[in-house]
Amino acid sequence: MWRSLLRGLDRFLEMITTVSMALLTLDVTWQVITRFILKHPSDWTEELAVFLMIWVGLLGSAVALHRGAHLGIDYFVGKLSIKKKLYTEVFAYLCVTGFSIGVMLLGGIQMVSITFAHGQVSPALKIPMGIVYLAVPVTGFFLTLYSIGFLIDSFTQLKSKKDKPKAPYINLTPTT
């Protein structure tokens, strides 16, 4: 039950990120057409592009964390023993979890609620800015969910005292 719920959330996150990226592509294409072909630039496309870029960048970071695709400098970690690598992984995910909960989730919820309470709207599109800022707590939720899951996996591997971890979530070897 829990795993199927997580798979559904994963698919939802990837779908929202994909749709946002597709809309961003269409928006920028329309902006280029109106600016250079029609010689009458649209006044809302640039603002929409910025808002979609915020959503794509933030949600994309959660997708990258889940897939283990975040950039990392692992030269020194690569020289550690398996157990020390796992401790380093635990420390890294504790930091990610703390930041995700404290700054992105709780701070993001506060920022969105203040923005909605003040009635701030965007200049060109006239949409509530709280919708734009909602990307922060939504991403914080997914980052928290994934980092806690990875923490549990790392603790399980540490407790099992195996020589080799099942699948490290921090990319410890360089890829090409």
Within a domain: residue 50? Answer: yes
Q: What is the pLDDT of residue 164?
A: 54
Q: Which domain holds residue 156?
A: 2-160
CA separation, residue 117 to residues 3, 36, 141 (Å): 37, 40, 22
SS (HEC) of 121-148:
ECCCCCCEHHHHHCHHHHHHHHHHHHHH
* pLDDT the model gives residue 123: 95
Whether residue 174 is contained in a domain is answered as no
In a domain? residue 107: yes
Q: Average pLDDT of the chain?
A: 90
pLDDT at 162 over 80: no
> Rounded to whole angstroms, how far apart are CA atoms 158 and 88?
11
CA dist., res. 89 & res. 84, Å (int): 8
**pTM for the full model?**
0.85
- The per-residue pLDDT for range 67-79, each reduced to its tens digit, is 988 777 777 888 8
Cα distances (Å, whole numbers) of residue 12 to 40, 48, 75: 37, 22, 35
Higher per-residue confidence, 163 vs 126? 126
Name the band, by pLDDT with cuts 50, 70 and 90, for residue 172.
Answer: very low
CA distances from 98 to 63, 138, 147, 174 (A): 18, 15, 9, 27
Residues 73-107 pLDDT 10s: 777 888 889 899 999 999 999 999 999 999 999 99
Distance CA 86, CA 10 (A): 25
pLDDT, greater one: 125 or 1: 125
Better-predicted residue by pLDDT, 159 or 171: 159
Q: Is residue 57 part of a domain?
A: yes
- Tally of domains in the chain: 1
Asked whether the predicted pLDDT for residue 118 surpasses 90, the reply is yes
Question: What are 148-161's pLDDT values in tens digits?
Answer: 999 999 989 988 86
* Amino acid at the residue 80: L
Cα–Cα distance measured from residue 54 to residue 102, given in angstroms and rounded to the nearest whole number: 20
Does residue 83 belong to any structural domain of this protein?
Answer: yes
Assess if residue 169 is contained within a domain: no
pLDDT of residue 5: 85
Q: How confident is the model at residue 52 (pLDDT cuts 50, 70, 90)?
A: very high
What average pLDDT does range 6-12 have in this prediction?
91
Lowest mean pLDDT segment, chosen from 29-33, 57-61, 102-106, 168-172 = 168-172
Q: Would residue 175 count as lying in a domain?
A: no
What digits encode the pLDDT tens for the residues 15-49?
999 999 999 999 999 999 999 999 999 999 999 99
The answer to whether position 166 is within a domain reads no
